[in-house]
Chains A and B, each alone.
Chain A
Amino acid sequence: MINTEILVIGGGPAGLCAAAEAAGHGARVLLLDDKGILGGQLIKQTHMFFGSHLQYAGTRGIDIATILIDNAKNAGVQLMPAATVTGIYEDGVVTAYTDDKFIKIKPEKIIVATGAYENMLAFPNSDLPGVYGAGAVQTLMNVSGVAPGNRVLMVGAGNIGLIVAYQLLQAGIEVAAVVEATDKIGGYYVHANKIRRMGVPILTRHTVKQAWGKSGVEGATVVQLDEQFRHITGTERNFAVDTICLAVGLTPLTELLWNAGCDMRYIPALGGHVAWHDENFRASLENIYVAGDADGIEEASSAMIEGKIAGLNAAKNLARKTNLTQKLYDERIKDYHGQLNQLRRGPFGEKVRMGSGMLTGLPPAVDAPIESLPTDYRAFPAGARVVIECEQNIPCNPCETICPHSAIKVGKDIVNYPTLDPEKCTACAICLTRCPGLSLFVINKEFSETETEVSIPYEFTPLPKKGDVVDALDRQGNFVCKGKITRALASKKFDRTSIVSIAVEHKYADTVRHFRADGAPKPEPRVNPPADIPGDMDAIICVCEDITRRKIEEAIDRDGAQSVDEIKRLLRCGMGPCQGKTCQRLIMQILAKKLGRNIAQFMPQTYRGPMKPVPLGVLAKANDEEKN
Chain B
Amino acid sequence: MRRITEHPILTFKQGKQVKFTFDGKSMEGREGDTIAAALEAAGIRVFRESINLLRPRGFFCAIGRCANCSMVVDGVPNTKVCVALLREGMNVETQHGRGKIAIPRGGQTPRRSEATEGG
On A, residues with C-beta under 8 Å from B are 34-36, 46, 60, 62, 117-118, 127-133, 135-136, 139-142, 144-150, 170-172, 215-216, 242, 459-462, 496, 540, 543-546, 576-578, 581-582, 612-613, 616-617, 620, 623-624, 627
Contact = CB atoms under 8 A, between A and B. Distances in A.
Nearest to A46: B9
Contacts of A128: 55-56
A242 B43 CA distance: 12
Given A136-B59, A147-B3, A546-B55, A459 B8 contact: yes
Given A129-B46, A139-B63, A140-B37, 8 more contacts: A133-B62, A140-B59, A144-B33, A145-B12, A145-B37, A216-B45, A545-B51, A620-B110
28 contacts: A34-B63, A34-B64, A35-B63, A118-B61, A127-B68, A129-B57, A130-B45, A133-B66, A135-B61, A136-B62, A139-B82, A144-B34, A145-B7, A145-B10, A146-B40, A147-B3, A148-B40, A171-B7, A459-B8, A459-B9, A461-B8, A543-B57, A546-B53, A577-B67, A577-B78, A578-B67, A582-B60, A616-B110
A578 B64 CA distance: 9
A127 B50 contact: yes
Interface in B1-51: 1-4, 6-10, 12, 33-34, 36-37, 40-41, 45-47, 50-51
B62 A36 contact: no
B109 to A, nearest CB: 11
Contacts of B1: 146-150, 242
A139 B85 CA distance: 14
Interface of B: 1-4, 6-10, 12, 33-34, 36-37, 40-41, 45-47, 50-53, 55-68, 70, 78, 82-83, 85, 110-111, 114-115
B74 to A, nearest CB: 14
Contacts of B36: 140
Contacts of A136: 59-63, 82
Q: Interface of chain B, helix or strand or loop or mixed?
A: loop
Contacts of B59: 129, 132, 136, 140
Nearest to A138: B62
Contacts of A149: 1
Nearest to A462: B6
Contacts of A577: 67, 70, 78
A301 B10 CA distance: 22
A576 B67 contact: yes
Contacts of B57: 127, 129, 543
Contact of A216 (B6, B56, B111): B56
Given A147-B4, A150-B1, A215 B67 contact: no
A546 B53 CA distance: 6
Question: Which 4 A/B pairs are nearest by Cβ-Cβ distance?
Answer: A129-B58, A145-B12, A136-B62, A144-B37
A62 B10 contact: yes
Contacts of A132: 59-60, 62
Given A129-B47, A545-B51, A578 B9 contact: no
B40 A142 contact: no
B115 A146 contact: no
Contacts of B111: 620
